[in-house]
Chains A and B, each alone.
Chain A
Amino acid sequence: MNRRTKGHTLVKPRENSAGAVQGRLSVSSAFDSWLASHRSNARVSLKRLMDEPLQTLMTTLVIAIAFALPAALWVAVANLQSLSGSWQTTTRISLFIDKGASTQTTENLIKAVESLNQFDAVTYVSPEVALEEFQTASGFGEVLALLEENPLPGVLLLSPKPALGSEPESLQALIDQLEQLTGVAEVQLDMQWLQRMQRILAMAQRVAILLGVALSLGVLLAVGNTIRLAIESRRDEILVVKLVGGTNGFVRRPFLYTGLWYGLAGGVLAWLGVVLAGLWLGKTVSELALLYQSSFSLQGPGAMGLLLLAILGGILGLLGAALAVGRHIASIEP
């Protein structure tokens, strides 16, 4: 139903204004003017924010910081997850050989392992090779040179067949089997610490969500308070608008848009902050990764992150404004 026709007809428009009455009653033109009202409200509220750049910037920054903290944590966790994910696909077993084992024992051990027929690749890293690798990769070369004897044991690097890698029980059985062989000091499944790290990451993710929820509440209150002040400062205008027949909805609309703009700007600014922080950290991270022979590079929040932060910010801004508006505008009556 046309929202204007449902008004009562206490006072009928004069006959000589029939043309105008026609213009007011058609549904499509009512929709047009409703749309035009939204457009102008959106524009006017944006302009008001621009007219007070300092106040606007402060509020937007508060919102942006509140969003940026959990977002940054989330991005960090996502990065670590992708990092650990790339390791997980190459499950490896490190078999450390007894330090005192003779060449013969080592050769027998390699043969025994190969005869199990469970591995795609069996690589023997002799103590000497291991020491060399360690020296070049770790930067402890000079210190190691001081040692009289090589502290590193020989290692067999085993890559289990893919079918095995995904079954923890059979992997465990295989490890038990390996430990029984002669000349074996220790068998280590590289996945164990990975699993631990994934638990820690899952926890960090929850911390990010918790932080996000708590700070979102903060955003809600910050926007709500800003809107409340805006309503207070426009009290006279609201009274006049209500006296000439403005509905609560009409009065509410520009303030809701203000909240929406705050939230959107805060979300976008938070995204920008995380991106910039990522760029700043990215070079160091890549350098660090190189030291670990990894080509890992930091992934920013991306376009999806921008979309998510903007939508989330918009919703929270709108909600905060709605909270303030609902309570205060109805109480301002002429």
Chain B
Amino acid sequence: MIRFDGVSKRYAEGYEALSDISLSLDAGELAFLTGHSGAGKSTLLKLIMLMERPSRGQLLINGKNLNRLHRSQIPHYRRRVGVVFQDHQLLFDRTVFDNVALPLLVSGYQTREIAKRVRASLDKVGLLDREKLNPMQLSGGEQQRVGIARAVVHKPRILLADEPTGNLDPALSEEIMGLFREFRDVGVTVLIATHDLALVQSLGERTLSLKEGRLMGSES
């Protein structure tokens, strides 16, 4: 589902964030991406999100080369990927419901379909009773769950998460990871960047370790 073939990312200033990365994730696979801050975790996710383009190498998603994707097609591509951010990136000028509805809204779903899917998604993360609240009124863990609901509301086949448990206590973190595993179990390919090594080790999933932009080899 996700394949990196000798991908490097060098920024204009000459700093190489990623060097010669090759990796492959099958459909319905869950993997952690670990490493210190600055190791290139975020850059790798940004490449998959097409927020950045590789300087060298090829990135294939579902067999299609992202390098050949035209700029105008990027929005359509992003609609098939879900992302969870560390700072959850919720919009505080609207309700929880409207936040979760955003990916469906930009894809042009109809109002009835949107309501159905948003509720299903909020139910999945256990926040169905909070749909009318402003995200500001929620706790940190709840906000992150709203972010997850938004990332999966359009049923993406790929789910990316950048430090999804960064600000949460261990119990909440485990709960969030449990959610990611559930998505994996229904066939979603999940890639989670985190520096929480203890949590990763306790879960025993496949781990991709980055160090100074290089892949240290994957163990499971």
Contacts and interface: CB of A to CB of B under 8 A. Distances in A.
Interface in A238-272: 239-248, 250
Given A243-B49, A243-B83, A245-B75, A24 B69 contact: no
**Range for the number of chain A residues in contact with chain B:** 35 or more
B80 interface: yes
Interface in A29-45: 29-30, 32-34, 36-37
Interface in B35-64: 49, 51, 61-62, 64
B157 A12 contact: yes
B108 A334 contact: no
A29 B112 CA distance: 12
A246 B106 contact: yes
Contacts of B107: 4, 24, 245
A11 interface: yes
A36 B110 contact: yes
A8 B89 contact: no
A6 B73 CA distance: 9
B62 A245 contact: no
Contacts of B51: 243, 333-334
A196 interface: no
Interface stretch (A13-21, A168-176, A207-215, A300-308): A13-21
Contacts of A242: 75, 78
Contacts of B127: none
B117 interface: yes
B89 A243 contact: yes
B157 A11 contact: yes
Contact of A29 (B62, B103, B110): B110
A7 B156 CA distance: 15
A287 interface: no
Main secondary structure of the interface of A (DSSP, over half): helix
Contacts of B187: 14
A33 B111 CA distance: 8
Interface string B156-199: 11100000000000000000000000000001000000000000
A333 to B, nearest CB: 8
Interface string B59-95: 0011010000100010111111101000001010100
B102 interface: yes
A162 interface: no
Given A240-B89, A243-B89, A245-B106, A11 B155 contact: no
Given A30-B108, A33-B108, A34-B108, A8 B69 contact: yes
Nearest to A240: B89
Nearest to A29: B110
B11 interface: no
B190 to A, nearest CB: 14
7 contacts: A3-B108, A4-B76, A11-B158, A23-B113, A243-B51, A245-B78, A247-B106
Q: Which 7 A-B pairs have the closest CB atoms?
A: A7-B76, A245-B79, A11-B80, A246-B106, A245-B78, A244-B103, A247-B75
